[in-house]
Amino acid sequence: LAKTTQPISMDSYEGQEVNITCSHNNIATNDYITWYQQFPSQGPRFIIQGYKTKVTNEVASLFIPADRKSSTLSLPRVSLSDTAVYYCLVGVYSGGYQKVTFGTGTKLQVIP
Amino acid sequence: DVKVTQSSRYLVKRTGEKVFLECVQDMDHENMFWYRQDPGLGLRLIYFSYDVKMKEKGDIPEGYSVSREKKERFSLILESASTNQTSMYLCASSLSPGIEQYFGPGTRLTVT
């Protein structure tokens, strides 16, 4: 399984764009990249998933360079409610039962 | 709406007790997971199940067992609880391990 590395914590002011980068140097050809968000006292919640280039949804964008050894989650104009832990994980998108692994995540603190 | 429920939000048990944590999902998902979450260690996979009566060890299965007799229910069993099993336990389900997992609210277990 590809191991991921993320910054332990980040601070950002309200209204700014936040970019959280994840490193996954040994990503396999058929691995997808997925990001989750977790608020205190809750289970993680899926944000976005991608394979290459760029993916955008109503919550975030995910940028994946051609070599796929890293990815960047971009949160536009963060608010205080975006304060959470963000996890990057890499796993196989298939009907098989290979498991994915969560890392320690990045704790984002949004400051007023 | 997707729903994963866990039998208890908080549980206090004594060392040596047998502990059952139950998880139920209403989405007809094939795959179910048990994680534990500890400060500084992120989420770690204990066991997962890709079908009824099928199970696969995760990263930290020692001291735990699981049971999946029905598709919607996945139980985590601590055969003889120990203080180092004090943790937050999170259950999740998904159509496939590599794609979006839906998490329950978690059970905070304290073993004294």
Contacts of A31 in chain B (CB under 8 A): 98
Q: Are A47 and A37 in contact (CB under 8 A)?
A: yes
pLDDT given at position A97? 52
Predicted local distance difference test score (pLDDT) of residue B63: 96
Nearest Cβ partner for B42 among A34, A41, A102: A102
Q: Do A87 and B42 touch (CB under 8 A)?
A: yes
Cβ <8 Å between A100 and B98: yes
Residue indicated by tokens 């309200």: A14
| pLDDT tens, residue by residue, B42-85 | 889 899 998 898 898 988 999 999 999 999 999 999 999 999 99
Phi, psi of B84 (to 5 degrees): -75, 0
Residues B101-107: what's their mean pLDDT?
93
Question: A110 and A83 in contact (C-beta within 8 Å)?
Answer: yes
Residue A93 above 70 pLDDT? no
Are the beta carbons of B45 and A102 separated by less than 8 Å?
yes
Return mean pLDDT, chain B.
92
pLDDT at B97: 63
